[in-house]
């Protein structure tokens, strides 16, 4: 791996410098390099509590997170450089998840763009802004595959699909780290949460994870591996246990898989106090033992737990941990500080002038809007009086804009919005007012996203009655998804469902703008409301991005990366399920199904409408049989049968019909975007090779097996054309 032009184990020169420095370090100072503490916040900004400041001065803490801004971090860095014995620079980390100050769409939203260049650019711009704010290191990308929308952190990932998630992981690492970590517009990235944090039982955050090694390797591990292969410098452990062993003490994950199989050479940091948490997990009798287990399992840096700080020296004395292991961890961390250029100039990320010119620059805001509109998924758009309700007809005079998210700034930022500034968010009300200067827009909040108070229903209904069309901005507030925000019901929170039904009763056409951090269960809405625009939480430029779609300035192109269930009881529901021995048959009671709900989702993976209509035809394969080293060419024609220019994401899935272990009914293997003018057709080609057909066989070998396959191409995972081929 090359970081900042430094090959991690390659460059003798740097290695020698680090070794020379380590030769001067006391054990306490070494342990300091393995220690990461948070900076807290007061009214005016970040503050470091006095104990930590002393720790920095004495060399007992070599890394900080949640401290930012060029000036503040410069002062902390000054303490490390000028007031510590060895002057080793501090490393500053932060959760820059979907932007630093300018906030881009939440990751789940952005993944719906299926646009890798966009995903990379968001990461690059977030890095540029954050690095201008004094930061070196982001705790991102989060690549945890999630199939359970009850889990609030589904908002932070890229959805349910392993293959797509792996592509996005690569784009993010490239975007954050660039080609040179010492470039002050890049950040060191951290892939998290290793491993399988996205599969907690019952969707409850931090809960137990238990799965077969096959599922672990096939479904959950590939996106972390993709990030490692793309050169990510750091890995964060997860809070959960896996097969009875907490991830932070799990040598199978960290030593066997990460270091031996994948050759990872960067450093591993824990999640927040996750070493300490091995005690309540029931894996360690006390924190001292937890520290021993973590270090011996391969954890280099302790986030916030102070376990290494308190116990490692004693553990060395007792021969429970090896000094050589501590040295190796210190070496890995110092190497990263070298790669970031901090030994050349510890203040290179603290340039106030650059900070001023970068934060909220036009480049950031333009990208926020572009990323926002590409993330939006049009779920439904029925015709009223012979014309689809969206885009809004030019003739519309009076709009009632209703709902707790319609003129709301902070909630549109979504979960983990770092140092995002709510006052900079352009609301939907503002954006619609700007976009439609000739329309009268009457705003009424109606209710909140949390309470059952219905006092606002009356004014909202009056506004609706007086309007030509109603736009309702409803969904989740920013605290209702994300960490520690699991939900057992996924309907509209608070009184919003009741408000929606009351407004619907007025008989006015309703467009729902659904803002949320996860798929909600919206069967009633789907059955009654003519138009639904799922916008997720889009960040600083949410309002203009949504207005672009509502007015038709942008033709929606997003496709779901997560299945929308009909109800919570269907969860986990995902497109690449297994067939079972009794696949659904409506005429046979004894097949796999429910008595009270269909097996199908409300909206499948890959689904999303456009203002135009795409038609797929002429699926052709170059051969009906391919050898293990041959390409299969798959062609299909896509036509735009509607009235608007539009962008379509054509998706290719396969099914391996018989395997030494059973295979999913569909697996995404490729996609392509095509832009088509009205009336235009294009024929596109995909190439499949036997490498694309690999899986973990009965004997856990990763390879393709000869046999019969299906290939499917279409605009979503359910609506496809299909053909057959054989691998021989
Ligand atoms: C989260 C991590 C995050 C860390 C530091 C933890 O609670 O699980 O994703 O990076 O806090 O803020």
The verdict on the CB of residue 648 being under 6 Å from ligand 1 is no
- Cα separation, 652 vs 636, in Å, equals 10
The verdict on the CB of residue 273 being under 6 Å from ligand 1 is no
Query: Does the pLDDT of residue 608 top 90, yes or no?
Result: yes
Span 462-486, pLDDT tens digits: 999 999 999 999 999 999 999 999 9
Span 101-127, pLDDT tens digits: 999 999 999 999 999 999 999 999 999
Q: Name the token pair of 443.
A: 């705003």
Peptide bond into 520 cis (omega under 30): no
Ligand 1 atom having least distance to the Cα of 156: 9
Q: At which residue do the structure tokens 């009906």 appear?
A: 624
Pocket test for ligand 1, best of 191, 272, 273, 301 (most atoms within 8 A of CB): 272
Active site residue 271: yes
Residue 643 neighbours by CB distance under 10 Å? 12
Q: Are strands 63-65 and 35-38 parallel, antiparallel or unpaired?
A: parallel
- Cα separation, 543 vs 541, in Å, equals 6
Span 175-191, pLDDT tens digits: 999 999 999 999 999 99
1-96+239-339 CATH choice from 3.20.20.300, 3.20.80.10, 3.90.850.10, 3.20.20.80: 3.20.20.300
- Cα separation, 668 vs 684, in Å, equals 17
The verdict on the CB of residue 712 being under 6 Å from ligand 1 is no
The verdict on the CB of residue 272 being under 6 Å from ligand 1 is yes
- Cα separation, 691 vs 234, in Å, equals 28
- Rounded to the nearest angstrom, the distance between the alpha carbon of 93 and the centre of ligand 1 is 11
The verdict on the CB of residue 160 being under 6 Å from ligand 1 is no
- Cα separation, 542 vs 49, in Å, equals 36
Q: Name the token pair of 639.
A: 């036509």
Residue 657 neighbours by CB distance under 10 Å? 13
Residues 6+ apart with CB under 8 A from 488: 150, 203, 568
Q: Which of 143, 312, 156, 296 is nearest to 232 (CA)?
A: 143
360-570 CATH choice from 3.30.565.10, 3.40.50.1700, 3.20.80.10, 3.40.50.280: 3.40.50.1700
- Rounded to the nearest angstrom, the distance between the alpha carbon of 179 and the centre of ligand 1 is 26
- Three-state DSSP state, 230: coil
- Rounded to the nearest angstrom, the distance between the alpha carbon of 272 and the centre of ligand 1 is 6
- Cα separation, 672 vs 114, in Å, equals 9
Residue 74 neighbours by CB distance under 10 Å? 16
The verdict on the CB of residue 663 being under 6 Å from ligand 1 is no
Q: Are 210 and 196 in contact (CB under 8 A)?
A: no
Average pLDDT estimate for 293-317: 97
- Nearest residue (by CA) to ligand 1, atom 5, is 272
The verdict on the CB of residue 206 being under 6 Å from ligand 1 is no
- Cα separation, 184 vs 352, in Å, equals 13
The verdict on the CB of residue 153 being under 6 Å from ligand 1 is no
Q: Which of 669, 690, 668, 677 is nearest to 643 (CA)?
A: 677
Q: Are 452 and 404 in contact (CB under 8 A)?
A: no
CA atoms within 13 A on the CB side of 175: 27
Give the model's pLDDT for residue 1. 44
Q: Name the token pair of 165.
A: 């998630």
Pocket test for ligand 1, best of 41, 190, 483 (most atoms within 8 A of CB): 483
The verdict on the CB of residue 144 being under 6 Å from ligand 1 is no
Q: Are strands 63-65 and 91-94 parallel, antiparallel or unpaired?
A: parallel
Average pLDDT estimate for 586-599: 97
Tell me the CA distances in angstroms from 144 to 93, 437, 594, one per residue in order: 20, 43, 29
DSSP element (H, E) containing 168: helix 162-177
- Cα separation, 96 vs 138, in Å, equals 5
- Cα separation, 111 vs 95, in Å, equals 19
Average pLDDT estimate for 683-693: 97
How many residues would you count in the chain? 728
Q: For residues 289-321, b (16+ Cβ closer than 10 Å) or e, as one string? A: bbbbbbbbbbbbbbbbbbbbbebbbebbeeebb
> What residue spans in the chain does CATH classification 3.40.50.1700 cover?
360-570
R_g of the chain, CA atoms, integer Å: 26
**Chain-centre distance for alpha carbon 334:** 29
Q: In what order do the strands lie in the sheet with 234-237?
A: 190-194, 234-237, 267-269
Query: Does the pLDDT of residue 233 top 70, yes or no?
Result: yes
- Three-state DSSP state, 361: coil
Ligand 1 atom having least distance to the Cα of 190: 10
Query: Does the pLDDT of residue 266 top 60, yes or no?
Result: yes
Domain covering 614-727, topology: Immunoglobulin-like (2.60.40)
- Nearest residue (by CA) to ligand 1, atom 11, is 272
- Three-state DSSP state, 222: helix
The verdict on the CB of residue 369 being under 6 Å from ligand 1 is no
CA atoms within 13 A on the CB side of 263: 7
- Rounded to the nearest angstrom, the distance between the alpha carbon of 144 and the centre of ligand 1 is 13
- Rounded to the nearest angstrom, the distance between the alpha carbon of 546 and the centre of ligand 1 is 30
Name the least confident of 41-55, 190-204, 481-495. Answer: 41-55
Query: Does the pLDDT of residue 4 top 50, yes or no?
Result: no
The verdict on the CB of residue 139 being under 6 Å from ligand 1 is yes
Span 58-94, pLDDT tens digits: 999 999 999 999 999 999 999 999 999 999 999 999 9
Residues 6+ apart with CB under 8 A from 426: 540, 541, 542, 543, 544
- Nearest residue (by CA) to ligand 1, atom 8, is 271
* Average model confidence (pLDDT) across the chain: 96
Query: Does the pLDDT of residue 310 top 80, yes or no?
Result: yes
- Cα separation, 7 vs 335, in Å, equals 9
Whole-structure pTM value: 0.97
Query: Does the pLDDT of residue 3 top 70, yes or no?
Result: no
The verdict on the CB of residue 271 being under 6 Å from ligand 1 is yes
* H helices, E strands: number in the chain: 21, 32
Span 415-470, pLDDT tens digits: 999 999 999 999 999 999 999 999 999 999 999 999 999 999 999 999 999 999 99
Q: Are 453 and 440 in contact (CB under 8 A)?
A: no
Give the model's pLDDT for residue 43. 62
Pocket test for ligand 1, best of 153, 271, 273, 302 (most atoms within 8 A of CB): 271
Q: Name the token pair of 517.
A: 């951090």
SS (H, E, C) 24-84: HCCHHHHHHHCEEEECEEECCEEECCHHHHHHHHCCCCCEEECCCCHHHHHHHHHHHHHHC
- Nearest residue (by CA) to ligand 1, atom 12, is 95
- Rounded to the nearest angstrom, the distance between the alpha carbon of 686 and the centre of ligand 1 is 39
- Rounded to the nearest angstrom, the distance between the alpha carbon of 239 and the centre of ligand 1 is 10
- Nearest residue (by CA) to ligand 1, atom 2, is 271
Span 364-412, pLDDT tens digits: 999 999 999 999 999 999 999 899 999 999 999 999 999 999 999 999 9
Q: Does the CA dihedral 319-324-328-333 come out positive or negative? A: positive
- Rounded to the nearest angstrom, the distance between the alpha carbon of 190 and the centre of ligand 1 is 11
Q: Are strands 387-388 and 383-384 parallel, antiparallel or unpaired?
A: antiparallel
Peptide bond into 195 cis (omega under 30): yes
Pocket test for ligand 1, best of 139, 237, 305 (most atoms within 8 A of CB): 139
- Nearest residue (by CA) to ligand 1, atom 10, is 139
User: Which position among 115, 144, 161, 271 bears the catalytic label?
Assistant: 271
Q: Which of 432, 414, 430, 433 is nearest to 422 (CA)?
A: 414
Residue 458 neighbours by CB distance under 10 Å? 12
Give the model's pLDDT for residue 578. 98
Q: In what order do the strands lie in the sheet with 531-534?
A: 377-381, 531-534, 510-515, 469-475, 398-402, 440-444
- Rounded to the nearest angstrom, the distance between the alpha carbon of 205 and the centre of ligand 1 is 12
Residue 681 neighbours by CB distance under 10 Å? 15
Give the model's pLDDT for residue 713. 98
Q: Which band of pLDDT confidence, cut at 50, 70 and 90, is reported for residue 2?
A: very low
The verdict on the CB of residue 611 being under 6 Å from ligand 1 is no
Backbone angles phi, psi at 235, to 5 degrees: -130, 135
- Rounded to the nearest angstrom, the distance between the alpha carbon of 514 and the centre of ligand 1 is 27
- Cα separation, 169 vs 164, in Å, equals 9
SS (H, E, C) 237-269: ECCCEECCEEHHHCHHHHHHHHHHHCCCCCEEE
> What residue spans in the chain does CATH classification 3.20.20.300 cover?
1-96+239-339
The verdict on the CB of residue 363 being under 6 Å from ligand 1 is no
The verdict on the CB of residue 462 being under 6 Å from ligand 1 is no
- Rounded to the nearest angstrom, the distance between the alpha carbon of 192 and the centre of ligand 1 is 9
Ligand 1 atom having least distance to the Cα of 304: 5
- Nearest residue (by CA) to ligand 1, atom 7, is 272
Q: Name the token pair of 452.
A: 């059952």
- Rounded to the nearest angstrom, the distance between the alpha carbon of 146 and the centre of ligand 1 is 17
Ligand 1 atom having least distance to the Cα of 139: 10
> What residue spans in the chain does CATH classification 2.60.40.10 cover?
614-727
Q: Name the token pair of 20.
A: 């020379």
- Cα separation, 139 vs 145, in Å, equals 17
Q: Which residues pair with 564 in a beta bridge?
A: 603
């Amino acid at each position: 791996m090359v970081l900042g032009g430094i090959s991690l184990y390659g460059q003798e020169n740097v290695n020698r410098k680090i070794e020379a420095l380590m030769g001067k370090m006391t054990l306490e100072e070494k342990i300091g390099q393995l220690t990461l503490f948070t900076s807290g916040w007061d009214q005016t900004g970040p503050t470091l509590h006095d104990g930590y400041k002393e720790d920095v001065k004495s060399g007992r803490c070599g890394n900080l997170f949640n401290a930012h801004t060029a000036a503040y971090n410069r002062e902390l860095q000054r303490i490390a450089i000028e007031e510590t014995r060895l002057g080793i620079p501090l490393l500053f980390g932060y959760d820059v998840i979907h932007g630093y100050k300018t906030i881009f769409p939440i990751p789940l939203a952005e993944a719906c763009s299926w646009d890798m260049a966009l995903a990379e650019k968001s990461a690059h711009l977030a890095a540029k802004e954050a690095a201008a704010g004094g930061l070196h290191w982001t705790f991102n990308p989060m690549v945890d595959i999630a199939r359970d929308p009850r889990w609030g952190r589904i908002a932070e990932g890229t959805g349910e699909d392993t293959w797509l998630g792996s592509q996005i992981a690569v784009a993010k690492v490239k975007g954050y780290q660039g080609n040179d970590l010492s470039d002050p517009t890049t950040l060191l990235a951290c892939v998290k949460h290793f491993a399988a944090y996205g599969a907690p039982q019952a969707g409850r955050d931090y809960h137990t994870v238990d799965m077969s090694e096959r599922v672990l390797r096939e479904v959950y591990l590939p996106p972390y591996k993709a990030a490692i292969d793309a050169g990510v410098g750091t890995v964060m452990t997860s809070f959960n246990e896996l097969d009875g062993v907490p991830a932070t003490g799990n040598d199978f994950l960290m030593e066997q898989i990460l270091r031996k199989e994948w050759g990872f050479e960067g450093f591993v940091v824990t999640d927040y106090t996750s070493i300490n948490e091995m005690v309540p997990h029931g894996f360690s009798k006390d924190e001292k033992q937890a520290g021993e287990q973590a270090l011996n399992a391969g954890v280099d840096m302790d986030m916030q737990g102070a376990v290494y700080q308190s116990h490692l020296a004693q553990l060395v004395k007792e021969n429970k941990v090896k000094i050589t292991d501590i040295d190796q961890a210190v070496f890995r961390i110092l190497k990263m500080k070298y790669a970031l250029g901090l030994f050349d100039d510890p203040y290179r990320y603290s340039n106030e002038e650059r900070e001023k010119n970068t934060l909220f620059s036009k480049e950031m805001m333009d990208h926020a809007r572009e990323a926002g509109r590409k993330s939006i998924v049009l779920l439904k758009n029925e015709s009223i009086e012979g014309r689809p309700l969206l885009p809004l007809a030019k003739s519309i005079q009076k709009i009632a804009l209703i709902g707790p998210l319609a003129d709301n700034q902070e909630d549109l930022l979504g979960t983990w919005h770092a140092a995002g500034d709510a006052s900079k968010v352009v609301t939907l009300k503002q954006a619609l007012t700007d976009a439609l200067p000739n329309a009268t827009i009457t705003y009424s909040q109606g209710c909140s996203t949390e309470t059952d108070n219905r006092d606002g229903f009356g004014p909202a209904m009056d506004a609706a009655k007086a309007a030509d069309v109603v736009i309702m901005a409803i969904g989740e507030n920013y605290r209702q998804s994300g960490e520690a925000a699991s939900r057992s019901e996924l309907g509209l929170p608070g009184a919003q469902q009741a408000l929606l039904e009351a407004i619907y009763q007025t008989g006015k056409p309703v467009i729902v703008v659904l803002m949320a951090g996860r798929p909600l269960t919206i069967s009633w809405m789907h059955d009654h409301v003519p138009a639904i625009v799922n916008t997720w939480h889009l960040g600083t430029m949410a309002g203009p991005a949504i207005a672009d779609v509502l007015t038709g300035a942008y033709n929606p192109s997003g496709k779901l990366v997560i299945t929308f269930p009909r109800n919570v009881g269907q969860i986990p529901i995902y497109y690449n399920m297994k067939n079972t021995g009794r696949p659904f048959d409506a005429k046979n009671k004894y097949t796999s199904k429910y008595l009270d709900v269909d097996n199908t989702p409300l909206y499948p993976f890959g689904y999303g409408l456009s203002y135009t209509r795409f038609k797929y035809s002429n699926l052709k394969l170059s051969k009906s049989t391919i050898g293990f080293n041959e390409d299969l060419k798959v062609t299909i024609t896509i036509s735009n049968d509607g009235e608007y220019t539009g962008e379509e994401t054509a998706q290719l899935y396969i099914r391996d019909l018989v395997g030494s272990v059973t295979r999913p009914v569909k697996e995404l293997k490729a996609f392509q975007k095509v832009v088509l003018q009205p009336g235009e057709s294009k024929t596109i080609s995909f190439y499949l090779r036997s490498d694309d057909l690999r899986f973990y066989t009965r004997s856990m070998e990763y390879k393709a097996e000869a046999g019969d396959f299906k290939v499917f191409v279409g605009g979503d995972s359910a609506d496809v054309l299909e053909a057959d081929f054989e691998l021989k």
